[in-house]
Structure 1
Amino acid sequence: MIKSYQINVIGRVQGVGFRWYTKQAADKHHIVGWVKNELDGSVTIAAQGDAENMAVFLHDIATGPGFYSQVDGVTKKLIATFNANNFAIR
């Protein structure tokens, strides 16, 4: 079953390679969509993939890329499916 989410990540997630890390995790878990920085310092992700892959992807996002980043919170909401062939950094 395909799941599509809008995900908001707060914490120290800008200037620490978080978008690149998100793209790597998405590619690894066959997730399509995009990631972008927001003016408030958060990161927004639109992600779509099968439920099992999405669960692992969400775990990776909540963990973050490591030493310099810090994920303080992740919120997600179901959204309508969308057309995408890859995962992009915006």
Structure 2
Amino acid sequence: MGPSFSERSALTADFDAIRISLASPERIRSWSHGEVTKPETINYRTFKPERDGLFCAKIFGPVTDWECLCGKYKRMKHRGVICDKCGVEVTQAK
């Protein structure tokens, strides 16, 4: 059986305080990347985001977890890899 409640509480770290603050505009800009260059959004046949469009997977991440847009890299073993065909990083879809 798993650890009891008292054992689980002993395993967690104790904190005295947590500070939460808003990110500055400069910090938010440092997180952003990519550029929308085409007005297209979604391909009406495949229902996948158009490359360099408003919902581009290179900018916003993959549509499905652990899979690039073209399907060359699938599964978690390829996490962090940027596909050379479609340019999408293999990561969790959010």
Report the TM-score, using the length of structure 2 for normalisation. 0.24
Report the TM-score, using the length of structure 1 for normalisation. 0.25
Structure with greater proportional helix content: 1
Q: Mark the structure with the bigger radius of gyration.
A: 2
